[in-house]
Amino acid sequence: MAGAPVYGGPTAGVTAVPFCERLLLVVLYVAVLASSVAVIEPSPHDGLMGVLAVACVIAGVRFHRKLTLLFILLLIWNVSGLMSLLNVVGEEKTTTFAITSLYLAVAALIWACLFAENTMMRLAVLRNAYILTATIGALAGISGYLRAFPHAFEMFAHDGRALGMFKDPNVYAPFLIWPTLIIVERMLTRRIALRDIVVSGILLLALLLAFSRGAWFHFAVSGVAMAALCLATAPTMRARLRIINLGVIAIVAMAGLVVVLLSIPSIGSMFTERAQLIQSYDVGEGGRFRLQELALGAVLQYPNGMGPFGFASTQTNQQHNVYLQGFLVYGWTGGIAYILLVCSTLLIGLRTAFVRTPWQPYAIVTFAVFVGEVAEGFIIDSDHWRHFFLLLGLTWGLMVATIKYVHPQQVAAPIGRGFRA
């Protein structure tokens, strides 16, 4: 990761590589660049994932045996989900829900296979595209919140909350966390560039203006996890002191920025409202906590699941807990598969983060953000978040790349080419 990141092009610094690989990098860049546009379904990113899959086949991207567990757990999760459709035959949007789950599982496998090989080059493209698209989305959200261009940007904020080019600020805000922390990690451990300060400031401001309690919690958990891992893996005491000193400065700077922003009446009043631990919709007969109690009872009553939106059709709303969602929609088998998927990803992500490789900083940040996403899942349904499956696939792909890097003789031969077993 030497040198400053280049946020503007898919093949910056990429020369003397085969045409098929260059084609793959361009498609990867465009697909990630489109990921901040999620206001329509299916999104442009979804269509580009199909193009990326074709580019992977052309470039000879392979499925490695080390990804078999990921494949099996995703398969069980989806098969269980498809079987649960029998409980909601003819209901609106249920088939679309199941197809989306299947698509996201395939996307996770694509990401995993993609980053298992030629890792640093592909990570550089991912980083550049993700930071650029997140910055564009952040600027859109900030402009919408400030009503800088009322007619053109009113769609980028709603009910006093920035949402960029997403439908929901609670999905938009977590999308910004990986690019934010990948920049912060660089500043903590290597060097500080003015561009990094500006871009991270834009992303943090957008994160604040989304007024998503879950995303704020997610960012705090991920930030602490990243800082702890950076300290634990720092090669020297001097490097640790740098992380501690800059970390303290960053916390003070962010606190000062928040204080200044809260002095603005509109921001201060919204922050005061959203920062309360318990909201009105959390309590009461139709509140989040009561619905989660009812959902737990429903899990015990329906071992085969209730199908997509099955619980919401019997209650006032969803239960807003992705782990209960796993059992309610996908049944006991699918729910257990989802829990095992999350736990196994956490385990391999942590182990990968401690191995000194060229991509160790990416592994640290990806694991830290995934930890935050897992924690946020207790208060929101994140099973259809595209960036969740990016983190999932990236974690597994980096695991394979790390094993190949450290113990190449222990890695079994990949299975075929172009995802063919």
C-alpha pair distances (Å), 366 with each of 156, 258, 267, 350, 389: 27, 26, 30, 10, 12
The dihedral through the CA atoms of 231, 236, 241, 247 has a sign that is: negative
Closest of 109, 105, 131 to residue 57, by C-alpha: 109
Q: Are 230 and 364 in contact (CB under 8 A)?
A: yes
Q: DSSP 3-state assignment of 161? A: strand
Per-residue confidence (pLDDT) for residue 283, from 0 to 100: 54
pLDDT single digits (tens) 238-270: 999 999 999 999 999 888 888 888 888 878 888
Query: How many residues in the chain?
Result: 421
Separation of alpha carbons 2 and 246, rounded Å: 20
Measured from the Cβ of residue 15, the count of other Cβ atoms closer than 10 Å reads: 7
DSSP secondary structure, 249-263, as one string: HHHHHHHHHHHHHHT
Q: Are 228 and 180 in contact (CB under 8 A)?
A: no
Angle between helices 177-189 and 237-262 (to 10 degrees): 130
pLDDT single digits (tens) 396-405: 999 999 999 9
Strand partners, 162: 157
Q: How many whole angstroms from its chain centre is CA 409?
A: 32
Separation of alpha carbons 13 and 30, rounded Å: 17
Per-residue pLDDT of the chain (421 residues; tens, 9 = 90+): 444 455 555 544 445 678 999 999 999 999 999 999 998 888 999 999 999 999 999 999 999 999 999 999 999 999 999 998 888 877 778 888 999 999 999 999 999 999 999 999 999 999 999 999 999 999 999 999 988 777 666 789 888 899 999 999 999 999 999 999 999 999 999 989 999 999 999 999 999 999 998 999 999 999 999 999 999 999 999 999 999 999 999 999 888 888 888 888 878 888 777 766 666 555 555 566 677 777 777 888 888 888 888 777 777 677 788 998 889 899 999 999 999 999 999 999 999 999 999 999 999 999 999 999 999 999 888 989 999 999 999 999 999 999 999 877 654 444 444 333 2
Strand partners, 157: 162
Structure tokens at 39: 């206001």
Per-residue confidence (pLDDT) for residue 91, from 0 to 100: 76
